[in-house]
A and B are shown apart, each in its own frame.
Chain A
Amino acid sequence: MAERSFAREVEDLKLGDGEIFKGEGILAITKALLQSGVSYVGGYQGSPISHLMDVLADARDVMDELGVHFETSASEAAAAAMLSASVMYPLRGAVTWKSTAGTNVASDALSNLASGGVKGGALVIIGEDYGEGSSIMQERSHAYAMKSQMWLLDPRPNLPSIVEAVEAGFELSEASNTPVMLEVRIRTCHVHGSFVAKANRKPAFSLSEAMENPVRDVNRIVLPPASFLHEKEKLEKRWPAAIDFIKARRLNEYFGPNHGDVGLIVLGGLYNSLIRALQLLGLADVYGTSLIPIYVLNVAYPLIDDEIVDFCADKRAVMMIEEGAPDYIEQSLNTILRRRDLSTRVAGKGLLPMGGEYTAPVLVKGIAGFLDAHAPALMGNRPPVPDPAPVLADARVKALAEIVPPRPAGFCTGCPERPIFAALKLTELELGTHHVSADIGCHLFSILPPFNIGATTMGYGLGPASASAFNVKAGKRSISVMGDGGFWHNGLTSSVGNAVFNKHDGVILIVDNFYSSATGGQDILSSRAANPHRKTNNSIVDAVRGIGATWVRQIDRTYDVAKMRDTFKEALTSDEPGPKIIVASSECMLNKQRRVKPLFNAAVKSGVRAVKERFGVDEEVCTGDHACIRLSGCPSLSVKHTDDPLKDDPVAAIDNTCVGCGNCGEVSEAAVLCPSFYRADIIHNPSRFDRLSSRLRASVIGWLQRRREAGRIVFEASES
């Protein structure tokens, strides 16, 4: 982690026995790893699990003391492969990523890992990026657990439960020689809560012991005939072992009365929403007391047939509550009951929506439908359910739908990617629109207003690969975009290597902002900062040349809009065969400000001369067309209504959050917009020379100004 310090959070990792940890869910997991005697941790950053990586990266002293190895993996595949350390040795290891996106990438290694099995506990912590706030496709990671036979934990969303799940997860993994996935949802990762900490545990067996005493067993390698044995072992040994452990450790939980006509089966992660829904229906209270039996699956996979049969046996009907599609568990439930010849009815996706988040109102509706059908007595004499419908039906509120604007995340103030897309927009004004393949990263915000650039996104580092079909003779070339994060993740080979090898005739734009910015500003191979623990400063240009690219342009200041535009034009019209690669480099402004601002303030405070730049608009020159905004969208460049009776439309205005990146000026220059922008250079602690020359200039210019204004007849400016 380059520019942001997690020193305070690192202190939380040092808590000892009986001390109270207070903080976010994902940090509780981090602490739980250290309490569980983990030997190594890897992963790929991404919301909602970035903080796990960030804090461990800053916790070097804690890790060194415990002898724990932490690394920022090149990709989720690399992280998953790291778990192979637990195959032959009793080493506990954990990796983490955003899912399902990351699990997709990791699946090759995960399949191999799950096939051979593990000796040491192997835990995969997946941030299930589903529902509101998610930034990826809406899918369930559940399928991976089923197809590769890994166990999937989905604990109740409170800190003690998820900490317990980490500890139990390692044990389950070891008891069943199977990797375990621990699923935590977005809000669970960011939930603030507390738990009673335990002291950190040094791993019983160290990585160096393993390296110095290597062990090898050809039966653990995925190659026939061992691979066939693995399948048998998975089904005949590991599965039963897991079932026994889960039962014995009572990982699944029961709430509410012991018996009832109906019951609810819920995934642990949805438990709090379920209790709130029951509370609204008058069937539970805020302390979790329920009038209906609830069976909570903290283990989403595998299902424990005996527990299910026991729970269902005395009930007319049960409702399965699982989020997302397909309804894997409901299907299994039906199969289990059918096999055991139980007639208990199973309700689920028939009453609950197939897709989307199961919020309390969604559950209220579904459960009410279930109870109406199977236990109407439970629905009698209950409090009214909160209902915003009358408010939402009012004309005054309906009118808001037209007025309240969408507000998606966008490029930050001063973002170096803004001028790149401004230049691309200007290029397209001249050369027409092109097919643009986008990628994953901040640069994907180009698809939003005001740029509206980008047609598809196929995955991290796959922007140029996703344009590979467009490699025939045509009047226009395809353009593809990729960030530095995606480039090092796999884009160098999957996208650039692919294009070089297949002599792709398109334009590849690599947006290099010195960090993995969208995930929080972590260092990557080409980061410019000197990181004592990582080898940074590896050039993207050298890498693409090394893989065989010949037409390569490096732009070291993306804010030079005219140069960016001309480079795009050159790339789109050049006669040279093969991919035309533009590496556009400027530092992520969010991280640059974190780095520069304290230095600047310190310099000013100590009396050193320092110049601060920011932009402004001459209100009188601006005519309110907002062409500048359509080439920017910067949060600090907005509009302002004026009291000038001769102006109808609001004028452009720049607020005090401007960081002086230069985009406004460069764009108005390159696009020949109005000359209303100015850059103000504010000299703090001016030198004697500054003061002298300023005084001189001011007196001469002042004299000239007085002279030219003296002859003019104007109305006195009235006080406003």
Chain B
Amino acid sequence: MTAPLIDRSTLSADRPLTIAILAMGGQGGGVLSDWIVALAETKGWMAQSTSVPGVAQRTGATIYYIEMIAAQDGRRPVLALMPTPGDVDIVLAAELMEAGRSVLRGLVTPDKTTLIASTHRSYAVVEKERPGDGTGDPTAVIDATDFAAKRTIAFDMDALAAKSGSVVSATLFGALAAARVLPFGRDDFEATIKSGGKGIEPSLAAFRAAYERTVTPKPEAVTRTPPKRLDPLPQMAGHAVLDALLTRIRTELPAEAQTMAFAGVKKLVDYQDPAYAGEYLDLLARLFGEDRAAGGATKAHAFTLAAAKYLAVAMAYDDPIRVADLKIRSNRLGRIRGEVGAKPEQIVYTTEYMHPRMEEVCGTLPKALGSWIESRPKLFDWLDRRVNKGRRVRPGTLLWFLGLSLVAGRRSGRRGTLRHAREMAHRDAWIAKAVETLRANYDLGVEVVATRRLIKGYSDTHVRGTSKFDRVLSALPLLLPRDDGAAWLRRLRQAALLDEAGTALDGALKTVATL
């Protein structure tokens, strides 16, 4: 049996240009796909697009796929309905993680693919529902796309589109035009937009902005979080009392912790008064003493730095006084008007959703009175039934403003409240535990301070946070003698921030118990 020779020369060498668009529902991926097809068809190419939009809901990740080929004497090509990994010329990703998804699906390869991606983030539910920071690391995506693509054009196309009142599909189209990977001129692209339906002007503006941005690249670093704003200490703050606080920071604290302490002082002055910030500095200076004694100089005074941060957070606990104070400030309405994009002639009122319970009310009362009520369950419940309900508060109206002012005015008596006594007791116990740990295990002592991160929120959230705080620190006796104790405590804290119920934390605690 002789095998016949195969004559591949009868086959045409033509191959289609292949384009995949990865987008989320509602991002205009369909519009972009239609534009590209229309553009190709007006230039005499054959083009075919497909999609799997599924149900009509938004936010789900979806993919559009286009193939196009310059028509050869009217021969109809047979085009594929889905992208083949390793065989895609252009990938347009409407969001950073979608760019990552395109790489994971094998659509981006170094021999072939031009990747055009917007670097903005639109967080998935699983990222944003975490009690801590569940957001994915964007730099990992950039590393992977830079490696996988033949060429990458990536910048925040969402923000650029928003500036023109348009959406990311228009800026992606602009970047595609500027990338010169399709054999069509800029005018052809613009003509496609102009022959479209609605929103032509904003689309064109966004298209042009993205085109310019692509041909004149400027570095745009992608980071997970913006840098924290640690303001340098000013020479003068315009008031003798404040200047005295600044001097204390300069003279009583190590250089490494000074800007953080300044942030803490600013926060506490704003929260309560300069004297309160003074108390904070008293405590911080004492902790610095402990730090020094424990050899903190070789550790960049990490303990003082952590204390400067979390002590301020602990002392500026969230209470109704604080909330009322923030809600009636003079600069608030202006900020909100900016956030919601109100025009000067428009009037804006806000409604606040508050749900005070008797717990919060008692907390704001003087310590003796608050405890007295709390120790009488019947009275407490009777009062709670009157207090405990959702209230829609409108601080832009006079009566509500006065009501909130009254609550905010309790600030002067805050140091005498039941809540304050509790918060300070909790603070002192925590600090004592940290100092005690510090003396035996420096790094672990720093982590004990940082565990304060777990306490946040109001009501149930606050209770849950405090419980997690206690559970994490319950591992302390086991960790104290270990060199890697700090790393373990850090892991426990991270586990505590993974889910609401603390399931991950329970697992991590079990692991620690077996160490």
User: Measuring CB to CB, which residues of chain A are less than 8 angstroms from any residue of chain B?
Assistant: 22, 47, 132-135, 157-158, 186-188, 190-193, 261, 271-273, 275-276, 279-280, 282-289, 291, 357, 359-361, 375-378, 380-382, 385-389, 391-392, 394, 396-397, 399-401, 403-413, 442, 445, 448-450, 517-521, 562, 590, 614, 616, 618, 620-621, 623-627, 629-630, 633, 635, 637-639, 641-646, 648-650, 656, 664-666, 668-675, 677-684, 686, 690-691, 694, 697, 700-702, 704-706, 708-709, 712-716, 718, 720
Contacts and interface: CB of A to CB of B under 8 A. Distances in A.
Given A380-B6, A518-B55, A702-B330, A400 B141 contact: yes
A429 to B, nearest CB: 9
A134 B126 CA distance: 22
A378 B500 CA distance: 59
Contacts of B24: 407
Contacts of A627: 131, 457, 460-461, 500
Contacts of B55: 47, 135, 409, 442, 518-519
A616 B339 contact: yes
B180 interface: no
B316 to A, nearest CB: 8
19 contacts: A283-B6, A286-B16, A287-B72, A361-B85, A400-B140, A405-B126, A409-B55, A616-B350, A635-B26, A635-B58, A646-B263, A646-B309, A672-B357, A673-B459, A677-B353, A679-B350, A697-B398, A708-B409, A716-B237
A635 B122 CA distance: 8
Interface centre among A388, A411, A520, A641 (most CB of B within 10 A): A388
B144 A397 contact: yes
A675 B354 contact: yes
Nearest to B458: A674
A193 B47 CA distance: 8
B417 to A, nearest CB: 18
B161 interface: no
B84 A386 contact: yes
B125 A403 contact: no
B266 interface: yes
Nearest to B267: A646
Contacts of A445: 57
A718 B231 contact: yes
Given A623-B318, A713-B242, A400 B53 contact: no
Nearest to A642: B226
For A134, A285, A289, A517, the residue with the greatest tally of chain B CB atoms inside 10 Å of its CB is A285
Contacts of B382: none
Contacts of B25: 409
Contact of A680 (B5, B52, B270, B350): B350
Nearest first, the 6 A-B pairs at minimum CB distance are A133-B52, A388-B106, A409-B60, A386-B86, A377-B3, A669-B390
Contacts of A397: 103-104, 144, 147-148
A291 B11 CA distance: 8
Nearest to A624: B456
B97 A626 contact: no
B188 interface: no
A633 B125 contact: yes
A633 B126 CA distance: 9
A403 B352 contact: no
Nearest to B409: A708
Nearest to A405: B124
Interface string B126-144: 1111111101110011011
Given A360-B82, A645-B309, A686-B346, A668 B60 contact: no
B53 A190 contact: yes
A674 B323 CA distance: 9
Given A413-B58, A643-B227, A450 B460 contact: no
A233 to B, nearest CB: 39
A624 B241 CA distance: 32
Nearest to A410: B59
A375 B1 CA distance: 11
Contacts of A701: 396, 398, 401
Contacts of A192: 34, 37, 47-50
A674 B461 contact: yes
A397 B148 CA distance: 8
A376 B3 CA distance: 8
A285 B14 contact: yes
Interface in B1-41: 3-8, 10-16, 24-26, 34, 37, 41
Interface in B407-461: 408-409, 453, 456-461
Contacts of B313: 646
Interface string B188-208: 000000000000000000000
Contacts of B107: 388
Contacts of A186: 52
A671 B357 CA distance: 12
Contacts of A694: 347
A276 B85 CA distance: 12
A680 B340 contact: yes
Given A672-B355, A681-B349, A442 B57 contact: yes
Contacts of A411: 57
A399 B41 CA distance: 40
Question: Size range of the interface on B?
Answer: 35 or more
A702 B309 CA distance: 34
B81 interface: yes
B125 A449 contact: yes
Nearest to B328: A705
B458 A190 contact: no
Contact of A668 (B351, B355, B401): B355
Given A190-B53, A405-B127, A359 B328 contact: no
B54 A47 contact: yes
A165 to B, nearest CB: 17
Contacts of B11: 282, 284-285, 289, 291
B497 interface: yes
B502 interface: no
A649 B132 contact: yes
A597 to B, nearest CB: 13
Q: Which of A360, A378, A649, A718 counts the most chain B CB atoms within 10 A?
A: A649
Contact of A697 (B50, B109, B397, B457): B397
Contacts of B148: 391, 394, 396-397
B471 to A, nearest CB: 16
Given A378-B6, A562-B390, A396 B143 contact: yes
Given A360-B82, A715-B266, A675 B309 contact: no
A682 B57 contact: no
Contacts of B230: 645
Contact of A360 (B63, B72, B84, B323): B84
Contact of A280 (B84, B237, B242, B269): B84
A407 B59 contact: yes
A521 B56 contact: yes
Contacts of B254: none
B78 A288 contact: yes
B394 to A, nearest CB: 9
A650 B228 CA distance: 12
Nearest to B25: A409
Nearest to A22: B41
A622 B101 CA distance: 31
Given A386-B84, A621-B326, A713-B269, A686 B347 contact: yes
Interface in B327-349: 327-330, 332, 336, 339-342, 345-349
B128 A639 contact: yes
Nearest to A404: B100
A27 B257 CA distance: 68
A286 B264 contact: no
B296 interface: no
Contacts of A134: 54
B80 A272 contact: yes
Given A399-B144, A614-B340, A720-B229, A681 B135 contact: no
A569 B336 CA distance: 37
A671 B141 contact: no
A450 B144 CA distance: 29
